[in-house]
Amino acid sequence: MTMDRIALVTGANRGLGRAAAVALAARGVRVLVTHRGDADGAGRTAEQVRAAGGAAAVLRLDIGDVSSFPSFASALGEQLERWGASRFDILVNNAGVGIFGPLEGVTTDDFDTVMGVNVRGTFFLTQALVPLLARGGHVINVSTSLTRHTSPATSVYSASKAAVEALSRTLAAELGPRGIRVNSIAPGPTATDFNGGVMRDDAGMRQVLAGQTALGRVGEPEEIGDAVATLASEGLRWVTAQRIEVSGGVLL
């Protein structure tokens, strides 16, 4: 297996980002692991990427800080040169934030943080990095099954991810002439540390969520990672502008 393709996974220091990075590495992809400040977690992801047979490098990135994107793009270019490349092939926009609460409990700061990271950050990071994305590359934006079904106290988070899905479809048309595919992947309930790790650690919550899925259980991060890696593969090279839900059939 030769490592020719290169992926950048944002927020890969833990959870779904780590799972995606490892799954891509297992398929021979070199992985650029980004983190906002958890260097130790990113280092552990890099170790797992190498153990899976891939090459890894770690870069710091705060997608809530749009002003940092030009310098990040420069740092990315320098890392690509160290790998003997000038372009990368797969951008996984995984990093995001969830702040949850009922209508009356959401503050303007909460709203601005969620939209600023999940929508504004995703948009402008993609804008900054597309010049380094290879022709025939792929952008995968991580969404949520909550854009299809509803759950209390998730309105702002769900709205931000619905915007990401709309962004994905529009950019698929805009970047299509360069052969760049843009899709969104929508995980359902998954046992990660997201939202305080409730879906991983709260047995009662897991039981409730398991009862809402067709497959009768909560998903595992590796299952989302495998889906990301499969979507990025040549086997799905004719798929673009799509929302792929990976939820075990939640709330059908």
In the sheet that holds 243-246, the strands lie side by side as: 56-60, 30-35, 6-9, 88-93, 133-142, 181-187, 243-246
Catalytic hit among 69, 88, 100, 157: 157
Strands of 162-231, DSSP E: 181-187
Q: Which residues pair with 37 in a beta bridge?
A: none
Q: Is 157 a catalytic residue?
A: yes
Strand pairing of 6-9 and 56-60?
A: unpaired
Other Cβ atoms closer than 10 A to 59 = 17
DSSP state, residue 245:
E
- In degrees and rounded to multiples of 5, residue 70 shows phi and psi of -60, -40
Q: Catalytic residue positions?
A: 157
